[in-house]
């Protein structure tokens, strides 16, 4: 069975790697074809992840690169359709919620090729987020919906999705995390940081709603600097965020606090997990970091007003704080007052066996 697996951005790689491994161990005649759209083109956000996760070289690289949401989606749709005409696969597998996800699913469904969506059913209920639009549309045109949590099932059923399309399998990104955690533990904290274990916080920031509006970015940075005066903050800076910081002139403001707010280059996967493991807490607007911190029992303060990972709020370590300085400082004060992070029980089926469940379902379906 020829199955095209599509990846394009950092979170996709961690979802594809366990699936390829499970297909190889299944004893079934899967013929996976890996297509990298090239939506993330920075080395540490793409190529280095293939090396860390021991992913094979992509069979096809579309080289889409940067652009507006419309440009990325349109170019991927055009180029991926050519792949489908040539390869004629039995199934297309898409993961997550990036522009490549929606574009590949659209190309496949228009050619009547079945589509499987991994990480289906997640909803933030915020249509100003491009990822929410991608999630909604991809789910409604997919044939196999593999969900990571019970709330995702409930969302799909409420939207009228037939039960037979919905499969609760768990979080495939946790498969990747658990498979690589021992390697990450052996990695030192990135060179030059000189920080004690549990003696620093980690920050990631890249969402357009947070970094594209100078007033919002200025307010957020003010809150983060307040935190940095309480505990050193390590900030691996997304290329897009660095560009916005430079355009707005805020990069100089942060440089003045460089002994407390440490700006570093984006990290490889294993280096980033190593940094998370030793941190006191995390501040983020990333969708991928929220389930990672819940799995690792690390307090997570999400710099958004909504999240698609509702299960990390109800069963994990995640707290929504938006961009309000007082809320962020209050939560950090509470975390700092606690000497030990309490071990959390992971959500149901976040056990490292999600990819195997998916493969078992596909084996039965494709027969």
Query: Which residues does the annotation mark as catalytic?
Result: 206
> Counting runs of H as helices and runs of E as strands, what totals does the chain give?
16, 13
Q: Where are the beta strands (DSSP E) in the chain?
A: 2-7, 31-36, 60-61, 91-95, 115-118, 144-147, 166-168, 201-204, 233-236, 261-264, 281-284, 300-302, 318-320
DSSP H helical ranges for 34-68: 47-52
CB atoms within 10 A of CB 158: 10
Q: DSSP string spanning 256-270?
A: TTTTTEEEEPPPPHH
**Cα–Cα distance measured from residue 101 to residue 165, given in angstroms and rounded to the nearest whole number:** 18
- Count of alpha carbons within 13 angstroms of residue 24, beta-carbon side: 9
Measured between alpha carbons, how far is 210 from 100 in angstroms, rounded to an integer? 22
List Cβ neighbours of 295 (8 Å cut-off, separation of 6 or more): 171, 174, 177, 178, 346, 350
**In angstroms, rounded to a whole number, what is the distance separating the alpha carbons of residues 12 and 169?**
17
Cα dihedral 341/342/346/351 (nearest 10): 70
Contact 302, 115 (CB under 8 A): no
List, in order, residues 6 or more apart from 164 with CB less than 8 Å away. none
- What own/partner pairs with CB < 8 Å and gap ≥ 24 does 226-230 have? 226/325, 226/328, 226/329, 227/201, 227/283, 227/328, 227/329, 227/332, 228/257, 228/260, 228/261, 229/260, 230/329, 230/332, 230/333, 230/336
Distance CA 258, CA 18 (A): 38
């Amino acid at each position: 069975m020829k199955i095209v697996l599509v990846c394009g951005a950092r979170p996709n790689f961690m979802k594809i790697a366990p699936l390829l491994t499970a297909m190889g161990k299944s004893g079934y005649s899967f013929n996976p074809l890996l297509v990298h759209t090239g939506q993330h083109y920075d080395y540490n956000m793409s190529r280095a992840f293939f090396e860390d996760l021991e992913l094979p070289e992509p069979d096809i690289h579309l080289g889409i690169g940067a652009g507006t949401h419309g440009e990325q989606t349109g170019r991927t749709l055009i180029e991926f359709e050519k792949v489908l005409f040539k390869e004629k696969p039995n199934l297309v597998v898409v993961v997550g919620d990036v522009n490549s996800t929606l574009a590949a699913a659209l190309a496949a469904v228009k050619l009547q090729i079945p589509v499987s969506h991994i990480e289906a059913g997640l909803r933030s209920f915020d249509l100003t987020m491009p990822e929410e639009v991608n999630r909604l549309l991809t789910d409604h045109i997919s044939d196999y919906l593999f969900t990571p949590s019970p709330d995702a099932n409930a969302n799909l059923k409420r939207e009228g999705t037939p039960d037979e399309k919905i499969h609760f399998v768990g979080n495939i990104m946790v498969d990747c995390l658990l498979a690589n955690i021992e390697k990450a533990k052996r990695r030192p904290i990135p060179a030059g940081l000189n920080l004690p274990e549990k003696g620093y916080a980690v920050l990631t920031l890249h969402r357009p709603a947070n970094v594209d509006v100078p007033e919002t970015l200025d307010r957020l940075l003010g809150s983060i600097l307040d935190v940095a005066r309480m505990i050193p903050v390590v900030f691996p800076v997304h290329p897009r965020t660095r560009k916005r910081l430079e355009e707005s002139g805020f990069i100089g403001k942060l440089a003045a606090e460089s002994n407390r707010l440490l700006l570093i280059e984006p990290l490889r996967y294993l280096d980033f997990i190593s940094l998370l493991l030793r941190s006191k807490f995390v501040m983020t607007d990333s969708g991928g970091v929220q389930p990672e911190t819940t799995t690792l029992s690390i307090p997570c303060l999400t710099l958004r007003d909504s999240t698609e990972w509702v299960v990390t709020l109800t069963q994990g370590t995640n707290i929504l704080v938006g961009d309000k300085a007082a809320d962020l400082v209050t939560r950090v004060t509470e975390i700092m007052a606690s000497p030990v992070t309490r071990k959390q029980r992971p959500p149901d089926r976040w056990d490292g066996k999600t990819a195997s469940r998916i493969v078992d379902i596909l084996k039965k379906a494709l027969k």
